[in-house]
Structure 1
Amino acid sequence: MPAKSKYRRDFCRMARVACREGFSDAKLAELLGVAKSTVQQWRREKPEFARAVTDGKRTFDGRVERALYRRAVGFSVAEVTRKRVPVTREDGTTALEVKEERVVRKRVPPDPGAAKEWLSKRSAPADELAGLSDAELAARVKALEVELDR
């Protein structure tokens, strides 16, 4: 008689959330209290679990891709500096209060290493997309459009 599976339906939600945060299959297995091979088996045998893992990883990969793109082309960031001065209150205690606040926009220059990485990743989609059905391609296009609208 085969051993009872440790799989529970709430693992789907846990897997989706964990994978959105960048968990690998090994880390996911650790979180769920099973072996990495068990996670891989569930991905093959449980469509809802496979979807949850794939959706979560796709979300994380999109975040990483956007961050890599920003590093590759450079970006601006607002830096806030505050000058604080000691002030004596009516009750005799001293506190620091903000006297002056300055916002300075700084430009982070493009990173050639990130640009090289970005360009090397851009050639991969053709191979990755080759085996997808029309419906899967349409879903990928829709997901990209949603990401671009953010």
Structure 2
Amino acid sequence: MDTFSTRHMDIEDSGSAIPDHLPPLESDQHVLLVFTGQAQHIQFLVEQQLVLGRRSPENSQPPDVDLAAFGAYPAGVSRRHCVLRREPGKLMVMDLGSSNGTKVNDYRLTPHSPFQIVNGDSFWLGRLQTWIYFKA
């Protein structure tokens, strides 16, 4: 019978899984939302701030970015769910008191408290999962 053993590898410990410096969001970079289980994605430029949510006939203030085509209603996305806001060198997200909450990398955001998003974060609006990327 053959036996297998695991080869020992030298791995350096960097000390922290969190980088000391996050690359800044450049002024010309677009935000790309890639939805889990969907063939389509959304790309847009956040010049100041944009509201994400779902359009509905009763909504007198529609969101800037409508997620209805991505299954927003059955996933529990509110009409005005959260806001993405550009600040110098970074992108912030703030839940607008949505019914089902907003999460970044499994961290549930406190409503009306800004939270920094970085390139490659997992981003949940209710049960709608997306990945967020910065793209030139």
Q: Common fold, TM-score beyond 0.5?
A: no
Mark the structure with the bigger radius of gyration: 1
TM-score w.r.t. the length of structure 1 is 0.18
Whichever structure has more helix as a proportion of its residues is 1
**Relative contact order, higher structure (CA 8 A, sep 6+):** 2
